[in-house]
């Protein structure tokens, strides 16, 4: 899983980036998964690998910023020939007058409305990939969830949190609710975004102490 998912993505990016950078344009679209940032039972190996791809995507995006090259990722959800037997009881996204799951071409939208299938086919994800790979797209370093016609940006949020430079573990226990609350969360675009918030907290604490 690690070799195919992480190494495969890493070596492919390493292979194409020199050519993209040399020509001053290019678009990389990696594949991550909500099994990583959302979690899924029995999929620890898969989720860890896909989360690594998300981290690689974000880091490479910083490295290519301003070069004309973009690096983004898609987190797709679809019923495929690979996953339908393992996760969906063999249900296909095809339907006919006799019902869903027979492999014939049909209206997957109707099957979803009727609750016969949990998600649509890969064809519903393809437009997201084409959008991010198109020459006119300048978006860089973002991840998009795409499934069954719904496309949404995936963010990694950091809450406002709780601050005391002299805290101990008991303080964290007592303030767990504040620490866990997202509230006015920060949608970080780089590690420096969160670090930049910390120095002003010392000034605020000095003002309160005074």
Domain boundary among 154, 178, 199: 154
d(CA 90, CA 94): 11
**pLDDT tens string 5-34:** 999 999 999 999 999 999 999 999 999 999
pLDDT > 80? residue 3 = yes
Range of the domain at 179: 169-209
Q: Are 2 and 13 in contact (CB under 8 A)?
A: no
Q: Are 28 and 72 in contact (CB under 8 A)?
A: yes
Coil, strand or helix at 187? strand
Q: Which of 46, 88, 156, 163 is catalytic?
A: 46
**pLDDT tens string 124-159:** 999 999 999 999 999 999 999 999 999 999 999 999
Residues 200, 102 share a domain: no
Residues 174, 149 share a domain: no
d(CA 156, CA 191): 11
Asked if residue 161 is part of any domain, the answer here is: no
DSSP E strand stretches across the chain: 26-31, 69-76, 95-96, 99-100, 143-147, 150-154, 157-158, 186-187
Residues 177, 147 share a domain: no
Whole-prediction pTM: 0.83
Residues 98, 24 share a domain: yes
The reported pLDDT for the residue numbered 176 is 97
Asked if residue 79 is part of any domain, the answer here is: yes
Residues 22, 108 share a domain: yes
46 is a catalytic site residue: yes
Coil, strand or helix at 152? strand
Residues 84, 22 share a domain: yes
Q: What's the chain's average pLDDT? A: 87
Coil, strand or helix at 129? helix
Domain count for the chain, please give it.
2
């Amino acid at each position: 899983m690690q070799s195919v998912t992480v190494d495969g993505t890493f070596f492919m990016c390493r292979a194409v980036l020199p050519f993209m950078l040399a020509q001053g344009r290019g678009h990389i679209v990696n594949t991550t998964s909500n099994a990583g940032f959302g979690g899924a039972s029995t999929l620890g190996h898969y989720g860890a690998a896909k989360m690594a791809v998300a981290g690689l995507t974000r880091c490479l995006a910083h490295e290519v910023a301003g070069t004309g090259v973009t690096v983004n990722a898609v987190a797709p959800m679809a019923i495929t020939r690979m996953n339908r037997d393992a996760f969906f009881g063999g249900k296909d996204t095809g339907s006919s007058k006799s019902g869903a799951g027979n492999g014939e071409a049909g209206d997957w939208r109707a099957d979803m409305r009727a609750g016969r299938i949990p998600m649509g086919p890969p064809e519903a994800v393809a437009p997201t990939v084409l959008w991010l790979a198109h020459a006119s797209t300048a978006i860089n370093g973002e991840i998009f969830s795409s499934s069954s016609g719904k496309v949404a940006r995936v963010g990694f949020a950091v809450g406002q949190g709780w601050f005391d430079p002299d805290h101990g573990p008991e303080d964290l226990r007592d303030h767990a609710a504040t620490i866990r609350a997202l509230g006015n969360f920060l949608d970080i675009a780089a590690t420096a975004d969160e670090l930049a918030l910390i120095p002003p907290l010392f000034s605020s604490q000095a003002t309160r102490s005074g």
